[in-house]
Chain A
Amino acid sequence: MDILSHALGALSPLNLGLALLGVASGIIIGALPGLSATMAVAVLVPVTFGMTPESALIMLGAIYTGAIYGGSYSAILVNTPGTPSAIATTFDGFPMAKRGDGDLAVTLSTLASVVGGLVGVFALLTVAPLLAQVALSFGPVEYFWLAIFGLTLISALSEGSTLKGFMGAGFGLLLSTIGIAVVGGDIRYTFGSQVLLGGIEIVSALIGLYCIPVLIDLVASPESHLKVDEKQRGIRLREGLMHAWIGKFNLLRSATIGTGVAILPGAGGSIASLVSYSEARRAAKDSSSFGKGNPQGVLATEAANNATVGGGFIPTLVLGIPGTPPDAVILGALLVQGFRTGPELFTTNANITYTFVGGLFIATCLLLPLGLLIGRYAFKSIISIPKALLVPTIAFMTVIGTYAIRNSVSDVIIMLTLGIIGWVLNRYGFKPSPIVLGLILGPIAEQGFVQGFLMGRASGSYAVTFFGGPISLTIIALSILSVFYPVIKARRAQRRHTNDADDSRQEVSS
């Protein structure tokens, strides 16, 4: 009863207003390429210092929720993930927009984000302390295998040739080693250049690899950017709900994966959405349509990345270990407000914690009307802007967005260079997704690998270190399944097809 009364505290007019403002500003900031959810939260933290702790937390949670969702707009409409957690949304979202279903993709992303967000909040409310303990049993080796599991997605992402996918991912992993080493501090592969000393910033690489090739091809022909239907179909909510109902298990599975991955400190929304996309593809009957505009792909990734909001707060609030990067910023804000994380947040300071959880719930619900409304305008403006304005506007946003990440012109140069490389590689059949996957998972994989290597050397057995733990073995089994399942599935389908053909031949002859 106490929990309910604390949670109802979030319904005060001030808190509701702050949640509304937070979600709306989060959506807009998240939709701009280069401005990530972390940045949205970080930039607006000082605004909350004068507020009461509950209101401050509600506003920050709302901004975070909105920003994670907002990243899907640019992913769907211009093939540029607004936030790294929306990378996998580009796989099916952009092909949907290209064929004239951008409005449906935005609606699906809204519905999935709401479902995912609610599952995450529910987990935060019910099983937070228990789940936080599970996160603590993940050591460096487990993180290494988790990154490898993420990399197995390459088999799903590489169209045509898995070997090309592996080369692309290897290239991404190699790019991630440029700069100062995560363990040991070596300066690597900078070739004496100051520009490369800071390494390749992931968001600027994302913008370059996804957005610049689109810009280069946009100016090459007079055709419009996205296919526009003669008949304007509004937000296509009924159609969206139908797809969501068909994919209800996909939605729940993805949201659960999102929550689970977010509990692991540092893993973040990008891994959550990639893993859930891979699982959705693996479980689907028509897995070959993924990557070509399958609505279930959008549902999977968006449900997962919004579930990371609630999921990420579990280790943040219970253990004081941020689950995702924006959680780290919110943790800082909590400390400024004079709160120490830990079990007392659920006992002594339960009023603040449960009011915050209630606020997060409200912010997630607000995503539905606000997201559909803003999404409709975003879609309308993208299809109605003439190309001569769309190209410079996107270019302007990419440059200013990349610069703003670290206030560095070097990042802009790296973004452009990677964009040109990405365009060339794309032309020769190397898709950007495996490269990006390598770049994102590289530091996590390397840290786990090198620390595991050191642990193995100290214990005298590399095999026991890397293959000895039950969690490691489970992740390894899942990785193997992820790589070989498409092959097994195709073989089974072929065998069934042959059997059916034999049966029909026998029927004809009899």
Chain B
Amino acid sequence: MSKALPKLQASCSARSELLMPLLFIGIGGVFLWQSQDMSQLGAIFPVTIAIVVIIAGLLRLAQLVVRGVLSNTERDKGSTPRRALLVVVMTAWALVMPWAGFLLTGLASFVSLMMIAQYEAWTPRRLMGHLLTGVVLVAFFYALFALLLNVPLPLGRWWV
């Protein structure tokens, strides 16, 4: 008699492992649906790939259902608020940059991210040292890109 196959180990929770193939099937479905209005030449490649993604998703679902899945209890944990703050700061940086200019948003984001990444208590000396390094680094990269490499970095709407 053949031995039963062991259960599959989920990367996160067992439920999420089942939901992810559904997400990919959904993405494949959206790409298929959107290709309706395209020319044959434009649609043939994405349609083929979308079908492959849907098939791979269905096969994965079948594999999970047949073999069963175990939740991963040892997945790494960390500070979710800090992660979320980093994403918020970087998103705000990208969105505000055309209006406030690269230099200003760059400096503000540098300081904000510095605060988010710092776990130990701030001493005046450490704070000053980090702030000074930040200003020097931002100035260096700004000079490298804007002056030496002639990249037209956004100046901000109020400057113009």
* A interface residues (Cβ-Cβ under 8 A, vs B): 43, 160-161, 163-164, 166-167, 170-171, 173-174, 177, 181, 183-186, 188-189, 212, 215-222, 386-393, 395-397, 399-400, 403-404, 407, 409, 412-413, 416, 420, 427-430, 445-446, 449-450, 453-454
Contact = CB atoms under 8 A, between A and B. Distances in A.
B11 A160 contact: yes
A412 B141 contact: no
Contact of A174 (B11, B53, B152): B53
Contacts of A188: 34-35, 38, 42, 46
Interface residues of B, number: 75
Nearest to A29: B149
B86 interface: yes
Contacts of B27: 171, 174
A449 B45 contact: yes
Given A171-B24, A219-B82, A221-B79, A184 B39 contact: yes
Contacts of A446: 45
Contacts of B150: 43
Contacts of B10: 429
A186 B152 contact: no
Contacts of B53: 166-167, 170-171, 174
A396 B31 CA distance: 34
Nearest to A162: B56
18 contacts: A161-B8, A163-B63, A167-B60, A170-B49, A174-B49, A174-B50, A177-B45, A212-B90, A219-B85, A220-B79, A388-B118, A389-B130, A389-B133, A396-B137, A404-B145, A412-B94, A427-B75, A449-B48
B44 A450 contact: yes
Given A43-B149, A221-B78, A189 B94 contact: no
A392 B87 contact: no
Contacts of B147: none
Contacts of B114: 388-389, 391-392
Closest 9 CB pairs of A and B: A220-B78, A429-B11, A186-B42, A170-B53, A184-B41, A222-B119, A391-B117, A392-B113, A388-B118
A429 B12 contact: yes
Q: Identify which of A167, A387, A390, A454 gathers the most chain B CB atoms within 10 Å of its CB.
A: A167
Contact of A219 (B52, B116, B149): B116
B93 to A, nearest CB: 6
Contact of A163 (B56, B75, B80, B97): B56
Contact of A396 (B44, B95, B109): B109
Contact of A404 (B20, B91, B151): B151
Contact of B138 (A171, A183, A396, A420): A396
Interface string B129-150: 0100110011001000100011
Interface of B is mostly: helix
B34 A189 contact: yes
A388 B151 contact: no
A428 B151 contact: no
Contacts of A170: 24, 28, 49-50, 52-53, 56
Nearest to B25: A167
A216 B78 CA distance: 10
Nearest to B24: A167
Nearest to A388: B118
Contacts of A396: 106, 109-110, 137-138, 141
B63 to A, nearest CB: 7
A409 B9 contact: no
A388 B42 contact: no
A455 to B, nearest CB: 13
Nearest to B63: A163
Contacts, number: 187
Given A160-B9, A392-B111, 5 more contacts: A174-B50, A219-B86, A388-B114, A399-B109, A449-B48
A184 to B, nearest CB: 4
A174 B46 contact: yes
A174 B16 contact: no
Given A188-B42, A221-B79, A427 B11 contact: yes
B59 interface: yes
Contacts of A409: 94, 97-98, 154
A402 to B, nearest CB: 9
Contacts of B133: 389
Given A167-B53, A186-B39, A404-B149, A413 B78 contact: no
B79 A219 contact: yes
Given A164-B60, A219-B117, A220-B83, A388 B130 contact: yes
A201 B52 CA distance: 24
Contact of A184 (B42, B78, B83): B42
Contact of B12 (A174, A399, A412, A428): A428
B9 to A, nearest CB: 7
Nearest to B31: A174
Contacts of A399: 90, 93-94, 106, 109
B76 to A, nearest CB: 8
B153 interface: yes
A160 B114 CA distance: 36
Contacts of B90: 212, 395, 399, 416
Nearest to B96: A409
A256 to B, nearest CB: 31
B41 A450 contact: yes
A477 to B, nearest CB: 21
Given A219-B116, A221-B79, A409-B154, A428 B145 contact: no
Contacts of B31: 174, 177, 189
Given A167-B60, A428-B20, A393 B137 contact: yes
Contacts of A400: 102, 106, 141, 145, 153
Given A219-B117, A396-B109, A177 B39 contact: no
Contacts of B83: 216-217, 219-220
Nearest to B120: A222
